[in-house]
A and B are shown apart, each in its own frame.
Chain A
Amino acid sequence: MSVVPCYRYLTEAEVRFLNAAVERLIPSDESGAGAKEANVAYFIDQQLAGSWGVHGRCYRQGPWREGKPQQGYQSRLTPQEIYREAIREIDQHCTGRHGKVFAHLGADLQDEIIRELEAGTFEFQSIPSSLFFELLIRNTQEGFFSDPMYGGNKDKVGWRLIGFPGVPASNYDDHIDERNIPYRVEPVSILDIKNGSVELDSQGYPKHVLLKS
């Protein structure tokens, strides 16, 4: 069952930005799909539209001071606001310098801008320099590796890339004495189980299907 990405928070222009950016962070290559094809932008949208997007379970009383890096997130802006503001400023910068928004730049120029974000040399007006990059890389990896029920990791591409089996089978103890033998199976997600596309054992755990090497 495929999920049709219907964005709840991000605008179409922001989706274009994110699709381009996450493709640079985790690109597609012969080893498999990257973050764009994994629907990471959609995952980020779902997170931004939910309670995390407004830092619902985070402490949000002032006074707001930037503090030291080891004191963590201190922006008075929520993740929703940071994505919106950062993407606007980056696109404005790209248009001013290169005549095009970030999504329409070549890969080399995109990488250069991401490196500036990472190094903290890209100067935003409203947010600390590396805060957006830290959120973006964290959310991209979350979206690439979390259960597909959250909208990213489409077709479990993140799990296939590394050989993570997802929901465990109940018979791992049968493999306990195996030394240096990779356990490669068709990964199983919570979404697969809820879709009824995986056979379960009597305890309710999935039966893993071994992959031929």
Chain B
Amino acid sequence: MALIKQKNVDVVVVGCGVSGSILCMELAAAGLRVVNLERGRMIDGMREFSSPHAFDEFKYERHSDIFQNLSRETVTFRNSSSDAALPMREMGSFKLGEVVGGTALHWGTHSRRFLPWDFESLSKTIERYGPDALPQDCSMQDWGITYEELEPYYDQFEHLYGVGGKAGNLNGEIRPGGNPFEGARSREYPNPPAPMTYAGSIFAEATRKFGYTPHVNPVASMTESYVNPYRLMLGKCMRGGFCSSHGCANGAKANPLTAVMPVLSKHKNYELRPLCNVIRINLDSSGKCATGVNYIDARGREVEQPADLVILASYTFNNTRLLLLSGIGKPYDPIANTGVIGKNYSYQTGGKVTLFFEDKVFNPFMGGGARGVSIDDFNGDNFDHSGLGFVGGAYVAVSSSGAPPIKNTPVPPGTPGWGLEWKRAVSKYYNRNFSIRVTGGCQSHRGNYLDLDPTYKDANGLPLLRMTFDWTENERRMSSWISEKALDIAREIGASKLSASPTRGHYSIVPYQSTHNVGGVIMGADSMTSAVNKYLQSWDVSNLFVVGGSAFPQNSANPPTNTIGALACWVADAIKDQYLRRPGPLV
């Protein structure tokens, strides 16, 4: 196949999601000529997510083409390296995006920052509990960056995405109504907190009896109409309740399409090429300098795009896979415990307790984003872990995110899965239940990693990425212990029936859990144990940055999007303020 060679540009950015769109915007505004390659199609959100078609649960729950077309590419999966990995043939545990805007088009907008502890969890755990507190074969690491360093960029991202919430720690001062466990923030949220829901207020009242500190979930579905720093207007959320998995008909959900692209796409320094799937990063003969990328365009032609600077800003899986396919960095080997690319793949645990009532109705279909209430008393290291036998924690929350019925018809424990009894239970309890979610972190583990599959190929004949992952005893203990706390709260609330489902057994790729896959190209202070430095710059190739959830050395309990966005803002500044002045390793 003849190779088409494009003219050299200053920067090529791979992926147009949360990270890619911000990096393109910031670098184009700084005067660099930017080409953005996105494997997904172009989308007009105003047309595609309009009423009434946006309110189609079946399409967005199961079949929408904003999700990755697995017929062309998927991942393979196994629980442990002693199993044979098999391809994820149907979308299940997570919903990968394949569209301009990426996975963020269908995010649930829950906008928590990571805790200061999350960035230094290894050293803080050893400091407080000693080295024996670490689980066996746990490979958790410090990030090489602190919360304090990232704080201005959380602030920048929250203002870009119009997050609504209430500060719990404003410049060190603990404020009533907010989350007292959060790291100090330099400014109040740009939007007010969402109003309390009925289920949220019942939960909040019960948690106060235990001395916990409930606070309204911060959300990036606009609590008021909002104009962001790029002068883009986002509409107010009207709580229509088709949020996670869906595009928003009101443009009330912050994402690349609403918060960045209308300005970016008109910028003279920016060119977006959708339906262009990058297959390789090219290196010069020294192997230490990237010369650009090769991609397959919409018509199937292979194209070379030379660039002075290459930024990978695609999803965790694709960032990792492109480095492995390009031979950049040393692949991780779990037996020898050497190498870094693919290391520390991680996820999140998602236990819950569902409460069924005889005398209370909640109208669960009225919701928006992740509106609701959380407690952080059991998150991170906010509680004494002495003698508990696990590291990390969970936030415990009630969210009113809407309740379309294909996936929101829980029934009390003991109810058959079908037949009249099932039908009567669904009819009775659809409006008379809510869940307390126990969303937990996931510490990294030596046996959980990503590499190239030896058997299965994508539509271009290139190896698929192979995921080897299972819950460890640490996650099971954590989820079980905190679920007991959630059960105590549920009993205090006084539901007639309860069901608890903590994380247990083996990880399964079948039921949807979260699209919070992280790691594989992790950041750190040491080139022997991390793939990128604190500026997400490759240790091996200094004109290559790898940005996204792939950089997380392990996963916080909190949703990843804000940290991904903050890291993108941080990297943009590092490139503008440091790298462009003196190209080369920043560390």
Contacts and interface: CB of A to CB of B under 8 A. Distances in A.
Interface of A: 24-27, 29, 31-32, 34, 52, 55-61, 63, 65, 67-74, 111, 114, 118, 137, 140-142, 145-147, 149-150, 158-159, 161-168, 170-173, 175-183, 190, 193-194, 203-206
Contacts of A161: 423, 426-427
A168 B52 CA distance: 9
A162 B55 CA distance: 18
Interface stretch (B328-336, B475-483, B504-512): B504-512
Interface string B399-425: 000011110010000000111101110
Contacts of A73: 89-90
A165 B365 contact: yes
Contact of A190 (B53, B87, B405, B427): B53
A81 to B, nearest CB: 14
Contact of B58 (A57, A72, A150, A176): A150
B501 to A, nearest CB: 16
Contacts of A61: 87, 456-457
Interface in B495-517: 506-510
Interface centre among A59, A61, A67 (most CB of B within 10 A): A59
Q: Interface on chain A toward B: helix, strand, loop, or mixed SS?
A: loop
Given A73-B89, A180-B361, A65 B84 contact: yes
Interface string B33-73: 00000000000000000111101111000110100011101
A205 B55 CA distance: 11
A183 B426 contact: no
Contact of B79 (A55, A68, A179, A182): A68
A58 B509 contact: no
B187 interface: no
Given A65-B86, A162-B405, A147 B58 contact: yes
Contact of B430 (A140, A162, A167, A206): A162
A66 to B, nearest CB: 9
B74 interface: yes
Interface centre among B73, B241, B420, B507 (most CB of A within 10 A): B420
A149 B56 CA distance: 10
A142 B409 CA distance: 12
A58 B56 contact: no
B363 interface: yes
A70 B510 contact: yes
B361 A181 contact: yes
B484 to A, nearest CB: 25
Contacts of A69: 508, 510
B507 A70 contact: yes
A71 B469 CA distance: 11
B51 A158 contact: no
B56 A27 contact: no
Interface in B177-201: 195, 197-198, 201
A68 B409 CA distance: 27
B83 interface: yes
